[in-house]
Structure 1
């Protein structure tokens, strides 16, 4: 039987010359770094950043809508029957629980001025952790966001449970974000016309948010497209993309999510050049040295034309550093305050900005 002697990695690198060896070793180390950065999302936080929200003292509402039971089906009938919805409820004694409810109840809100916010989590998030992460985002919103009236906060949960072999996981889940974006767009389409909705996507969740907005504007993701009603005015959307894990050019006109910006009043994009998942994004996509949107935002704003006025960049590099953890982004209080304020700030007439707008276009 032929036996193969497996040499140590550094010995094998020595056989190919110093420059090539250094390049290969750098690539291997970079892959380790990006994997460790993305893996941070799999750990369940042992302690919340803030206190458990007491909903009995206000009229806020928190819901979770899950597509995990329907998988990646793009059949509207199956979605209607298979979407699972739970409401976070509490009482005066501080006890809280998740109570099952019908997702259709969300389509009618008795409080006219309530702000509706969707949060779409990233990859490698198991059931249970979607609830914990969503509550942390809600707490950040309540600490730093200034909304007109109460908030209806909805966590969108999709099939992102970790599977073995991380690189296989990342690439597989990247393909899953296409049908999940269609599902999300379908749900958004069920809301009454002119409904004001704010969408927050983290990491792979930014793919889902951007893909849904692109579809709602008449775009396609592969063969997927929406049957958009032509006789109704569309809902009004704002979006915040945190550590967006997709190509920086995809949001530009004519590209993968090129119609998304046409669908929004304002889009806030975080950037962090030190985030390992953003810095070494090109190693996981297998398509060469392509930067992630969450690394430095949209570098060619001029390509957006007048739509560039709708974009705000917020730089987290100094406050988050070498981390891709959602909790580290949320802990950057100063930057999250800008995110939430920009998300809820009244829109000025096109071409005009207040002092806060001008100061935060590239914060």
Structure 2
């Protein structure tokens, strides 16, 4: 596992800036979406925490942000899961964005699109992206600690839901996942289930671990146990599904420092504090960690993590298989 300080990340950004001299990216059109890109929302909130495939398929809402006129303006239109279960255009990478806690449906769309715009602003090539907004039931409820604990419990069935969706996709499609805060916990659970594991008894009967190509993953302030990716961890099979994992951590982030207050019967360290622990030896080389304390400070704000150009430059290269 490589732990790289901010100055190493800056060096990577310098190389990226040099590449921009020779490759100008496609300029984003109206509403900040590049003409070559697709934006799809998969909203599993109506299915709540169901882990019944038929219920999930019937109740999830899929919408697409499509071009609506000759000027390139876009609007949301109803769609269906076949938009994801069919192969995208040539060279297109599918990038899932999984948000964190205290996010309602409108916020899920707006925040994800803001992350998308920050990514394409740092694009170093013209490779098209299918950007998928994964929206799960994270609307704030009363009681600070109660809210955190309820949402922590929800990440288990929602992780199964994401695994089921990923399992429907063509095996040859390159996929990347962004997980912020509790979103990282969902991503870890989904990959564990996709590899044939279970989450408190919830598994995929048709899981085929070797069917799909390994994924690229970006964790931002990961609100999940630091030991869960280890050989005996709750998400122990997740690393078998990951080609490479980039982590933006922060030892000053208050949510990471007080993460141990969420569980009632243990005292875990957050993965987003200093990275994963108890990894199998072969998995360490798949992980690249950055401590963002100098840029983010004592904050858990997503957009402080993504505001730094060098961070988004590295994220683009990683998520788009450009490195």
Superposition TM-score, scaled by structure 1 size: 0.76
One of 298, 306, 322 as aligned partner of 1:330: 306
Structure label with greater radius of gyration: 1
2-structure distance, mates of 1:126, 1:136: 15
Check 1:345–1:140 CA distance in 2 against 1; reply closer, same or farther (3 A cut). Answer: same
Structure 2 residue ranges without an equivalent (≥5) = 1-27
Partner of 1:7: none
**1:312 equivalenced with 2:288 (yes/no):** yes
Give yes or no for the alignment of 1:198 onto 2:156: no
Q: CA RMSD in A?
A: 2.1
* Structure-2 residue corresponding to 1:80: 57
- Per-residue CA deviation, residues 279-336 of structure 1 (Å, 9 max, x unaligned), is 1111233345422000111245xx4212211111121111011111112111122223
Runs of 4+ in structure 1 deviating by more than 6 angstroms, as ranges, are none
Paired with 1:240 and 1:64, the residues of 2 have a C-alpha distance of 19
**Counterpart for residue 238 of structure 1:** 216
1:295-306 residue pairs with structure 2 within 5 A?
295-300=273-278, 303-306=279-282
TM score, norm. by length of structure 2 = 0.85
CA deviation profile, 1:256-293 (whole Å, cap 9, x unmatched): 11110111111111110111101111123334542200
Q: 1:230 to 1:179 in 2, by over 3 A?
A: closer
Displacement of 1:101 in angstroms is: 1.0
Question: Does the Cα contact within 8 Å between 1:195 and 1:236 map onto a contact in 2?
Answer: no
1:131-210 aligned within 5 A = 131-146=109-124, 149-210=127-188
Higher mean alpha-carbon deviation, 306-315 vs 129-138, is at: 306-315
C-alpha contact (below 8 Å) 2:92/2:128 kept by paired residues: yes
Q: 1:68 to 1:198 in 2, by over 3 A?
A: same
1:277 aligns with one of 252, 255, 262: 255
**Higher RCO (CA 8 Å, separation ≥ 6 residues):** 2
After superposition, give the CA deviation of every residue in 1:167-201 in whole Å (9 maximum; x if it has no partner): 10100110000000000000000011232110111
Aligned residue for 1:69, secondary structure, equals: helix
